[in-house]
Amino acid sequence: MANPFVNRRRTSFWVALGLAGTLTLGSTGLVWADPPGGPRFGGPGHGGPPPGSVVRHLPPDHRVYRHNGAQFYFVGGYWYRPHSHGYVVVRPPVGLFVAALPIGFATVVLGGLTYYTYADVYYRPAPGGYVVVSPPAQVVTMASPTPPVVDPTVAAAASVTVVSATLNLRSGPGYNFPVVAVLSQGTRLLVLGNAPGWLQVQTDAGQTGWVAQSFTAPAVGGSPNG
């Protein structure tokens, strides 16, 4: 038969040990953020994780970028660097090149120049993608954020096929964006994301851009690289 006094002492020991562990963690000064995809990772104005927050793990769909010998991780519109306790939220360095913008970015026009912003990070168009830039000194016009629109047929297909004779691949979701490539009929494209009337896609060669959705159809069978 168990001794109640001994059990009480054991319980007190584990409670004290747990409190000690909590105090030790708190003394490190770390701010733990919810994992990507959680309620704090909603996008502009949704209370995303501030720089310095730490997450233990990143989801498998994160992307890896390298800049001046340093490695950065990008997921959910936020940037991370390796940390002794996992990954820490950082601001990407000016000049870092990305192939695609995060879904839900906002557009800022200043002095005739177009900027794209998400989570207080600003980007400018660059050949084949976008580059991180310093925030503009003054915002003249801010367009409404481009919300993601989930088309069930596209989401289910994961890839689409060009149905017009030719189709312009543009640097952004609109006819005012520069053409970066011309695609031929039957070209398969991997869908990375979408905005109203537009699809963010990747070609077999790895080039990314935006195409008008009305000139595409869900691909049937196989993968865009198959």
What does the domain layout of the chain look like in residue ranges?
Answer: 97-142, 152-218
CA distance 212 to 226: 23
Architecture of domain 152-218: Roll (2.30)
Q: What token pair was written down for 110?
A: 């200043």
pLDDT tens-digit readout, 182-206: 999 999 998 888 777 888 888 988 8
Select from 132, 101, 99 the least CA-distant residue to 203. Answer: 99
- How much is the pLDDT for 24? 34
Token output for 11: 């319980």
| pTM (predicted TM-score) | 0.47
The pLDDT, as a whole number, for residue 183 is 93
With 50 as the cut, is the pLDDT of residue 17 above it? no
Number of other residues whose CB lies within 10 A of the CB of residue 220 = 8
Q: Are strands 31-32 and 53-55 parallel, antiparallel or unpaired?
A: parallel
Q: Is the pLDDT of residue 219 over 70?
A: yes
Q: What is the pLDDT of residue 185?
A: 92
DSSP letter, residue 45: T
